[in-house]
Amino acid sequence: MKALTFSAFGDPGVLQYQEIAPPVLKTGDILVEMKAIGLNFSDTERRKGNYHLLGEPPYIAGYEGAGIVADNNGHPHFKPGDRVSFGDVPFANAELVAVPVTHAIPLPAEISFETAAAILLQGMTAHYLATDSHQVKPGETVLLHAVAGGVGQLLTQICKLLGAKVIGLTSSEPKKTAALAAGADTVFLYQDNWKEKVLDYTSGKGVDVTYDSVASTLNDSLAVTRVLGTVVLYGKAGGLPQPSPSLELLMDRSQTITGGDLWSYLDSKEERIKRSGVLFNWISSGQLVLQAPTAFKLADGKLAHEYMESKQSTGKIILIP
């Protein structure tokens, strides 16, 4: 089979599209012929050597995708040709992937392979952020960092579905336009004294909850979050905050900082089916609108990684075998 691999850490130039041996199925695995694969920030970090990697060189990144069952390996709940998807299975950047049956998510007929590859990781992340890390309530005001990104646009829509007002933060006018189109009530640019603008917008009170995927902005996020408010830290795209947040200030303002990681919530087959089912139903009913993903051939994975790291994209990037 062909796969997008790397044997050394570095820029996208280390990626190689090459022939390798197909996966060997274990008991409880099914073999999936991939039709669409989601590209995520974590894949670029694994390529750089910054995230934990499974296996040995040549490494295969990717955890998300959709396809058809090529071999059910004797498992009675799946048959060859069944449409399935997954959001947390390694080695996805390949034509064939061994998928544990506990991780395989049946794909409804109305959800395309491309949509599944574009929604599962980011969509289930947005879902747990809005329903578990902090339960968004009607009337709340929510602040979203990186609002024009894949998670940001989905989290915007979910917060609006739950009755909240959404303030977004982003880095350019085109991204601001994309975030407003996704439903944000207002969007501020990072370079335009955004802290002052957020406080003015909330009449000095601050927001109820801030979702921060940047991390280096954590102190500023706390500054614009109200007394008794919450900051959910679920990424570190900008590096760790310097200095660390003041514990005394946290106590004085009775604020909460909580961490978020999707893997903590995808702890059973039932959780995967439940969370993906909510997303699929929202999409089918038109309540959740997915921006058309930018598609690259898996063979052109270098270009896809370069495009993601250029920060030009405002939605999901997918790879097509």
Q: What is the 8-class DSSP label of residue 125?
A: H
All structural domains of the chain with their residue ranges: 2-120+265-320, 138-259
What does each C-alpha distance from 288 to 158, 159, 183, 194 come to in angstroms?
A: 8, 11, 11, 28
| Fold for the domain defined by 2-120+265-320 | Quinone Oxidoreductase; Chain A, domain 1 (3.90.180)
Q: How confident is the model at residue 239 (pLDDT cuts 50, 70, 90)?
A: confident
Instruction: Give the sign of the dihedral formed by CA 16, CA 19, CA 20, CA 25.
Output: positive
d(CA 220, CA 210): 10
d(CA 138, CA 164): 5
What pLDDT shows up at residue 37? 98
* Arithmetic mean of pLDDT over the chain: 95
CA nearest to 221, candidates 248, 276, 258, 184: 258
Is pLDDT of 314 > 80?
Answer: no
Is pLDDT of 315 > 80?
Answer: no
Tokens describing residue 161: 């579905």
d(CA 280, CA 57): 36
pLDDT, average across residues 173-202? 96
Q: How confident is the model at residue 11 (pLDDT cuts 50, 70, 90)?
A: very high
Is pLDDT of 8 > 90?
Answer: yes
Is pLDDT of 15 > 90?
Answer: yes
- For 46, other C-beta atoms within 10 Å of its C-beta total 22
Q: Give the SS3 label for residue 96.
A: strand
d(CA 1, CA 18): 8
Q: Give the SS3 label for residue 216.
A: coil
Q: How confident is the model at residue 313 (pLDDT cuts 50, 70, 90)?
A: confident
CA nearest to 36, candidates 278, 304, 317: 317
Is pLDDT of 72 > 90?
Answer: yes
pTM for this entry:
0.92
Render pLDDT for 94-112 as a digit per residue (tens, 0 to 9). 999 999 999 999 999 999 9
What pLDDT shows up at residue 50? 87
d(CA 20, CA 107): 28
Q: What's the CATH number for 138-259?
A: 3.40.50.720
What pLDDT shows up at residue 149? 86
Render pLDDT for 260-270 as a digit per residue (tens, 0 to 9). 899 899 999 99
CA nearest to 289, candidates 168, 181, 147: 181
pLDDT, average across residues 278-295? 93
pLDDT, average across residues 1-8? 97
What pLDDT shows up at residue 238? 85
d(CA 276, CA 295): 22
Render pLDDT for 129-186 as a digit per residue (tens, 0 to 9). 999 999 999 999 999 999 998 899 999 999 999 999 999 999 999 999 999 999 999 9
